[in-house]
Amino acid sequence: MSVFEVEGLRVGYGKLEIIHGVSFKVEKNELFVIVGPNGSGKSTLLKGLFGLASIKGGKILFNGEDITKLPAHERSKKGLAYHPQLNNTFENLTVRENILLAGYFLDRDELERRLENVLEFLPEIRGFMDRKVRTLSGGERQMVAFAMNMIKEPNTIMFDEPTAALSPKMADLIFDRILKLKTEYGLTVVLVEQNAKKALELGDRAMLLVTGTIKFLGPAEELLKHEDLASMYLGLRG
């Protein structure tokens, strides 16, 4: 059974439709990459999948269950996690409070157990657990947002440009951990990324989205090698 089965999905805001009837599947334990030029609707598609943008039509099955009309918090309870590009932490709270907030529905013992697991996966944040998030760098904030999702122990996680505006070193660290989610933790990952080359190198399958429609859907390696599409839409040259 596929993790996501999306049929004729149309997504937008208000009266504006941005995603025009896309259909695709995401398989279990797959790293599925969504790339495309600016304004192609990548982030809107993720928001639609998570229930944060209006669904204008179509159907979303998540692990076989129809979640098209479920609100975001209900989708979250199904084991789906979403890592937004911006505003992904509570800035006036400490790192510890942010992570504990993300796991507010857990009892104390379970929370402690999961916190230890998260700190093992992201040991870098141990050094600033009691600092307020607004004092952290962009990369450190992304780590905190990462940890907030990990404490929920999701089965599928969707990242919206997690390396935007990060230093190359920090971006590599984030990519490394995203890959680990798939290889070591067995999670399904949907990754929207501006750094198309790096994302396609990591990904199993890929979707090229242009003005809300699918231009390519297939193995990531194939899109990387597709000279016309890669150069026309992703700025990649042989």
Partner 1 sequence: MVDVNILLDALVYSNMLALLSLSLTLTIMTLKVANFAHGDLAIVGVYGAYTLMVVMGVATYLTLPVAFLFGGVYALLCYVLIYSPMRRRGASFVMLMIASMAIDIATRSLIQIYADLMKFHLKVYSRAFIFNDVMLNILGVEVRGIVVFSTLSVAVLLSLLYILLMKTKFGIAMRAAIENPPLAEVLGINVERVYAISWFLAGGFAGVAGFFLPFRIPTSPDLGFIILLPIFAASILGGINSLPGAVIGGYVVGISEILGTYLLSQPPINMSTAYRPAIPFAILILTLLLLPRGIASIWSRGD
154/203 with CB nearer partner 1: 154
88/163 with CB nearer partner 1: 88
Torsional sign, CA 209, 214, 220, 222:
negative
Asked if 182 contacts 29 with a C-beta cutoff of 8 angstroms, the reply is yes
100/236 with CB nearer partner 1: 100
Asked if 30 contacts 187 with a C-beta cutoff of 8 angstroms, the reply is no
* Per-residue binding letters, 36-75, with partner 1 (x by CB under 8 A): --------------x-x------------------xxx--
How far is C-alpha 10 from the chain's CA centre? 19
Buried b vs exposed e over 202-218: b needs ≥16 C-beta within 10 Å? bbbbbbbbbebebbbbe
Examine residue 100 and tell whether it contacts partner 1 (CB under 8 A): yes
Q: Which of 36, 58, 84, 212 binds partner 1 (CB under 8 A)?
A: 84
* Per-residue binding letters, 140-169, with partner 1 (x by CB under 8 A): --------x---x-----------------
Q: Which of 65, 101, 113, 225 binds partner 1 (CB under 8 A)?
A: 101
Stretch that binds partner 1, among 88-96, 181-189, 199-207, 216-224 (CB under 8 A): 88-96
How far is C-alpha 28 from the chain's CA centre? 15
Q: Which of 105, 110, 126, 183 binds partner 1 (CB under 8 A)?
A: 105
CA distances from 69 to 14, 114, 206 (A): 16, 30, 26
Helices (H) and strands (E) in the chain, counts: 9, 10
Phi, psi angle pair for 201, to nearest 5°: -65, -35
92/137 with CB nearer partner 1: 92
List contacts with partner 1 (CB under 8 A). Answer: 14, 50, 52, 71-73, 76-77, 82, 84, 87-93, 100-102, 104-105, 132, 134, 148, 152
